[in-house]
Amino acid sequence: MKILCAVFEASSMAMQLLLSPPPCSSVSVPPRPSLPTAIVVPTSPLLSSSSAIASPILIGRRLCVVGAFWAVVIRPGILLASAGEEDIDELREQEDRVVHLFEEATKSVVCIKDVEVLRKTGIQDVKVEGIGSGFIWDRFGHIVTNYHVVAKLANDRSGNHQSQVVLLGLDGKSITKEAQLIGIDPAYDLAVLKINAPENMLQPVPIGLSKSLKVGQNCYAIGNPYGYEHTLTSGVVSGLGREIPSPIGKLINGAIQTDAAINAGNSGGPLLDSFGHVIGVNTATFTRRGSGMSSGVNFAIPIDLVHQIIPHLIVESTVYSGRP
């Protein structure tokens, strides 16, 4: 805006310079001969001989000055201001796309709480022992997450452990549902939960492809780091085809590396592309020793692998022999 004001001010000054009448005293003109008394000649300043001679010379010079001023100052200023406005518009469009992506995708993301039921005489209480993330897989209430998020429930023999799923209702408020463990695959750090909820509350997240990913693509993680529900972080695909360990020590091949922040509580949440499609399940991060903070080297299980395993966990409640 300051650039445009300066350009318009300079343009106004240049036009004043061009249109102002030339001073007659600056050019000497030989005296004209006296006329007969019978002839009357108009003496308007605009038609005086001094103006007739001085104007073409001075206006020509001023036109040169104005032309140079336009080329050097005004035109670059206008182009710069125009370029600045285009950059601002592009930035706003990018921000609007990310805002829309989050508003749509976050409806499919849930918070998973691992709770222990404490039973005392006549009193029942719950203790939250861990928090993770997950996302809605279908309208039947199936939730995809990491195995390590629900490992305590999977290995519980006392019946004291439960999984509570917190999802967004139609009015945008959080609703808590008790979840049933349907299937697990510890070797690939995947698990499926199921909740009973009205179909119109269940918005499955669109499934993308991971085989076509390129290093440098934008990506976004939505989850519940440290219990802060529906947190969005962004980054790029930093690497492909990585190997990461599963909870039972087996290597998971083809993992996606990203610098989108993934912290405790993000596990099991979706990694999204720029179109809001799931390209991976956030599962691991390298932390700085003793800090507990993410180092920016984070990993997700590729969605192509997830898509092979999850249907079998839903139907058979266990792993299948044809998996990679």
Please confirm, yes or no, whether 294 is among the known catalytic residues. no
Residue 184 exposed, middle or buried by CB count within 10 Å (0-12, 13-18, 19+): buried
Q: Is the CB of residue 108 less than 8 Å from the CB of residue 135?
A: yes
CA–chain centroid gap for 209, Å, is 19
Question: If DSSP codes are grouped into helix, strand and coil, which group holds residue 12?
Answer: helix
Q: Is the CB of residue 53 less than 8 Å from the CB of residue 27?
A: yes
Distance from C-alpha of 130 to C-alpha of 148, rounded to nearest angstrom: 10
Distance from C-alpha of 321 to C-alpha of 324, rounded to nearest angstrom: 9
Identified catalytic residue from 114, 185, 189, 273: 189
Buried b (16+ CB within 10 A) or exposed e, 102-123: beebbbbbbbbbbbbeeeeeee
Identified catalytic residue from 148, 161, 230, 312: 148
Nearest to 194 by CA among 269, 260, 134, 245: 134
Nearest to 145 by CA among 269, 317, 57: 269
Question: If DSSP codes are grouped into helix, strand and coil, which group holds residue 27?
Answer: coil
- Report the DSSP beta bridge partners of residue 76: none
Please confirm, yes or no, whether 100 is among the known catalytic residues. no
Q: Is the CB of residue 306 less than 8 Å from the CB of residue 144?
A: yes
Identified catalytic residue from 210, 238, 246, 267: 267
Please confirm, yes or no, whether 307 is among the known catalytic residues. no
Known catalytic residues are 148, 189, 267
